[in-house]
């Protein structure tokens, strides 16, 4: 199969492209920076660039769309441009180029409205109710993607939840760095039960979605390890793998949500160079339960996670040992 993977400079996009190449697919990657993926045809550019998108989709059988603006802060217009309009442009170009399969990589946050999610499946995307610019625009983009599903153009949305693994700079390294600096509290003692996804399981789910798009089309499917654990335990596992002491202090979730609201306002006026230390969305994610029922995902994709969380932590520790 000839497959375009967007966002291949990120951990998940890179690993999906590598997995497809390993099984013999012809892979094109589209991202703004050089991906460095040996064997892939490389197109550099944004998903908002019509010329780059047209070049990337040319001759493709399928698309796995991971490129997105991912941040806890920033101008809403920037999120809309990349996440919504970029997705719309890519969908139209892929359909016109004759691609028959399109996997839109979404997020469970598109259906998270602030309350706990306990053993539920993939609820409907709620652009008006989702929390924060990232979640709102991903929700809108998911609706655009699923609306494009049609005979001959099978679209499926996959929502991996909190993907982590060796080499992860977005979650694991930030957790480790902030814990090492003593700037990472738990909220409500880290008692909230949440799902996460080890990188290999997220990759295999996206590959399965590409292969099964014609039968799974029109659906939104949540992907996790299926092993919900308390936030404190997950954070401690990442810290110990890196040889760093886990957080020893906690703050009330309600206090963190209030602080997040204040920080967001300050950040909008005087943004820092990194992610804000707290936002309302982040505080909600760390202090409310969110774990999922995977039965529909397993059935639709013929998929199951193969790497347990404990094995994932062991692999993460080995990665840090090797330096």
Q: Where are the domains of the chain?
A: 2-167+195-227+291-307
The whole-number average pLDDT for the span 126-134 is 87
CB 278 within 8 A of CB 256: yes
Select the more confidently predicted residue: 168 or 200. Answer: 200
Give the pairing type, strands 193-194 and 229-230: antiparallel
Which region among 71-80, 127-136, 293-302 has the lowest average model confidence (pLDDT)? 71-80
The whole-number average pLDDT for the span 104-124 is 87
Q: Say what the pTM is.
A: 0.93
Computed over every residue of the chain, the mean pLDDT equals 91
Task: Give the CATH number of domain 2-167+195-227+291-307.
Answer: 3.40.50.720
Instruction: Render pLDDT for 258-308 as a digit per residue (tens, 0 to 9).
Output: 766 666 666 666 666 666 666 666 777 777 888 999 999 999 999 999 999
Inform me whether the pLDDT recorded for 94 exceeds 90.
Answer: yes
Instruction: Render pLDDT for 229-260 as a digit per residue (tens, 0 to 9).
Output: 999 999 999 999 999 999 988 888 777 667 66
Predicted confidence at residue 112, as pLDDT, reads: 83
Annotated catalytic residue, options 134, 198, 319, 320 = 134
Whether residue 198 lies in the annotated active site: no
| pLDDT above 90 as % of the chain | 68
């Amino acid at each position: 199969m000839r497959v375009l993977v967007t966002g291949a400079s990120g951990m998940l996009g890179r690993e999906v492209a590598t997995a497809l190449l390993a099984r013999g697919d012809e892979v094109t990657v589209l991202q703004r920076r050089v991906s460095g993926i040996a064997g892939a045809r490389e197109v550099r550019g944004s998903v908002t660039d019509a010329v780059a998108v047209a070049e990337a989709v040319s001759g493709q059988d399928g698309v796995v769309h991971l490129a997105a603006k991912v941040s806890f802060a920033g101008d809403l217009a920037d999120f809309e441009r990349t996440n919504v309009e970029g997705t719309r442009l890519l969908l139209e170009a892929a359909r016109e180029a004759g691609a028959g399969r399109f996997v839109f990589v979404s997020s469970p946050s598109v259906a998270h409205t602030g309350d706990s999610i306990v053993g539920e499946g993939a609820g409907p995307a709620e652009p008006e109710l989702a929390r924060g610019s990232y979640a709102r625009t991903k929700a809108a983009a998911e609706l655009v993607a699923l609306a494009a599903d049609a005979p001959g153009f099978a679209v499926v949305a996959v929502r991996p939840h909190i993907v982590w693994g060796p080499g992860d700079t977005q979650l694991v390294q930030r957790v480790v760095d902030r814990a090492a600096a003593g700037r990472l509290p738990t909220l409500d003692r880290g008692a909230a039960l949440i799902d996460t996804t080890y990188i290999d399981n997220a990759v295999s789910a996206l590959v399965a979605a590409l292969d099964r798009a014609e039968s799974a089309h029109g659906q939104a499917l949540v992907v996790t390890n299926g092993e919900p654990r308390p936030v404190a335990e997950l954070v401690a596992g990442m810290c110990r793998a890196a040889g760093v002491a886990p957080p020893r202090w906690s703050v009330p979730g309600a206090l963190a949500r209030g602080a997040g609201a204040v920080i967001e306002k300050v950040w909008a006026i005087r943004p820092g160079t990194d992610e804000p230390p707290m936002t309302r969305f982040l505080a909600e994610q760390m202090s409310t339960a969110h774990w999922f029922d995977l039965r529909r995902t397993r059935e639709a994709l013929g998929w199951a996670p193969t790497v347990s969380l404990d094995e994932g932590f062991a692999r993460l520790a080995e990665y840090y040992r090797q330096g």
